[in-house]
Structure 1
Amino acid sequence: MSVVAKNRKAYHDYFIEEEFEAGLVLVGTEIKSIRQGHVQLKDAFISIVNGETWIKGMHIGHYDQGNRFNHDETRERKLLLNRHEIEKLNKAQTLKGYTIVPLDVHLYRGRAKLKIALAKGKHLYDKRQVEKERSIKREIQKSLKGQY
């Protein structure tokens, strides 16, 4: 499994609760462009419409050797999930106030997969607390490394 693109902003802005892996419905030039690494998840989000999950705002650049049949870069793409997974995501989103965020795009056995997660938004003070904990851990590791 090789990670092609990662959404670092999601880990910064949200508490990740539960992760899922979804397939992507793509056209020919899109998968070729993903294999070249021309994917961006920065402003992408996931919505559930009529019992189907869709990712919107995911940018897949044009394929270099593509001709006039190249794809639209930011079109809506359908995600492939089981029915009970879709129902679980929809219930958590509507009743509990969770957000569904994309985490990364990776290739598994030649197929593009999208890791998505149920997430709760962080407040500014939560972000500061996490950063403080990271810096403390970094200082501890630095001091332990100096002792040996």
Structure 2
Amino acid sequence: MENSLKNSRAILTTAAILAVQALPVALYGQTAETAKAGRAPATFLKIKMADLKMKVVGIDNGAPVFKNDKGEFFTVNSKTGDLNFIKTEEFSRFNYIKLNSADAAKSGQASSQRPPRGIKIEQDKVQDVTIVGQDAQGHTVMKNTRGENFYLDPITGDLIFIKI
């Protein structure tokens, strides 16, 4: 009887050891899933433009038009951050129109909320800017020489200063 008790104990021990070894590794050290960040990270451009100085020379369909040192005109795609270059001939067809909020209300443009197509901006208003990134709404955020972060209102072209 004592011999059968030893045999059954050995069989039970072996079965328990084999069962534990057969379990997946994930069951050994189950940990709670790490918590994700509470807010979404800011959207940044895919290209590095921290040292490049450029000028804002206009607005094209609500996106600021930049001019770099080479004389090239471009806009930044609000979804991908890609540069969309504009031919000089096409930019020369833009008009020098600047709507203030009173003129926009009279013309009905403020109520339609449609960004203007092909507007040039005075050169002295926004010079030597650096592209910082994009905010959640797709506005291209820039920094001027005084260190102020801003974007251009797509309807009126006014500077809207923000804190990052």
On whether the aligned pair clears a TM of 0.5, the verdict is: no
Which interval holds the TM-score relative to the shorter structure? under 0.3
State TM-score, norm by structure 2. Answer: 0.23
Higher strand share: 1
Work out which of the two has the higher radius of gyration on C-alpha atoms and give 1 or 2. Answer: 2
Higher helix share: 1
